[in-house]
Amino acid sequence: MSETPLSDPSKVLIVAFEGWNDAGDAASDAADILVEQRDLSALTQVDPEEYFDFQLTRPLVEQGSDGLRYLKWPDVTLFGPDAGDVESPYVLTGQEPSRLWRSFASAMVDHALAYGIEGIVFLGAMLADVPHSRAVRVTATSNDAAIREKYDIEKSTYEGPVGVLTVLSLAAAEVGIPAVHLWAHVPHYVHTAPSPKATLALLERLEQMVGIVSDREELEAEATSWEEGIDALAAEDDDMTAYIDQLEQARDAADAPEASGDAIAQEFEKYLQSRPDRPSSNES
């Protein structure tokens, strides 16, 4: 298999932000796990006064072990491996900035160039009409032809509102740093809870594509408990159970080896026609 800018983990930057791009905290939790397990060091932090509107992203007050109260300001931190570590990536994570995105993207791209970054993986998670009881779908896209060919993924054709991930991606592309976007699909009917199953799926895809290995045993147990908890809630709600059954049928039909494009389209049309029966508490 040919080399790509993602072939060397030590020259890859993983990016994930809390907020709009991060349903169920799936992406930011994946980034935090990499930072912790790889024992990455903080290389630089942005100035929160410059990039955050504190009425939108408010600081938090916390009680310290010394009994004093401290303010925790929103931040974005670039983490990196120790010299000579050829298996660990760089990680950029924190809250999604609310101001000066063009300046922020320019500054982050400068850091990427300074540390010899050759490829970027953006992690995100979106709310979707998917069942919690099936494998988490992770959509992968890239604007780089070599990356698309190696991993058999598509070029994004999305048009519409975007988060800072896209702003960063396009800024990086302008200086020759290609990227891939990985988006986990999180069930919209459990959007208020963390989604360890989606975090697990993102980390698994990272290992498959970039070779970044992580210890996922604890996360696998959390994902199992998460699914069992939703099963228990659904068992007490007939409407929710019926809705999940519809999602499962649509997903199974789409994933069946013998499913044709027409069959998938028909199943999806049936699902759309049944959407008025979805639980009213989940209406957007």
Q: What is the pLDDT of residues 14-33, one digit of tens each?
A: 999 998 889 999 999 999 99
Q: Does residue 4 fall inside a structural domain?
A: no
The confidence score (pLDDT) of residue 78 equals: 97
Read off the tokens for 267. 């199943």
Please report, for the domain that includes residue 194, its CATH number: 3.40.50.10900
Q: What is the pLDDT of residues 181-240, one digit of tens each?
A: 999 999 998 877 799 999 999 999 999 999 999 999 999 999 999 999 999 989 998 888
Q: What is the pLDDT of residues 69-124, one digit of tens each?
A: 999 999 999 999 988 788 899 999 999 999 999 999 999 999 999 999 999 999 99
Provide the domain limits for residue 28. Answer: 9-215
Better-predicted residue by pLDDT, 130 or 7: 130
Does one domain contain both 70 and 208?
A: yes
The confidence score (pLDDT) of residue 269 equals: 57
The confidence score (pLDDT) of residue 255 equals: 77
Does one domain contain both 186 and 242?
A: no
Q: Does residue 230 fall inside a structural domain?
A: no
- CA–CA gap between residue 14 and residue 11 (Å, rounded): 10
- CA–CA gap between residue 90 and residue 172 (Å, rounded): 15
CA dihedral angle for residue 178, residue 130, residue 34, residue 56, rounded to 10 degrees: 80
Does one domain contain both 138 and 265?
A: no
Compute the mean pLDDT over every residue in the chain, rounded to the nearest whole number: 87
Q: pLDDT band at residue 258, thresholds of 50, 70 and 90?
A: low
Our count of domains for the chain comes to: 2
Q: Does residue 225 fall inside a structural domain?
A: no
By CB atoms closer than 10 A (0-12, 13-18, 19+), residue 275 is exposed
The confidence score (pLDDT) of residue 272 equals: 53
Q: Does residue 194 fall inside a structural domain?
A: yes
Residue 281 has pLDDT above 70, yes or no: no
Better-predicted residue by pLDDT, 133 or 114: 114
Does one domain contain both 36 and 161?
A: yes
Q: How far is CA 33 from CA 29, 42, 185, 187, 200, in A?
A: 6, 14, 19, 22, 10
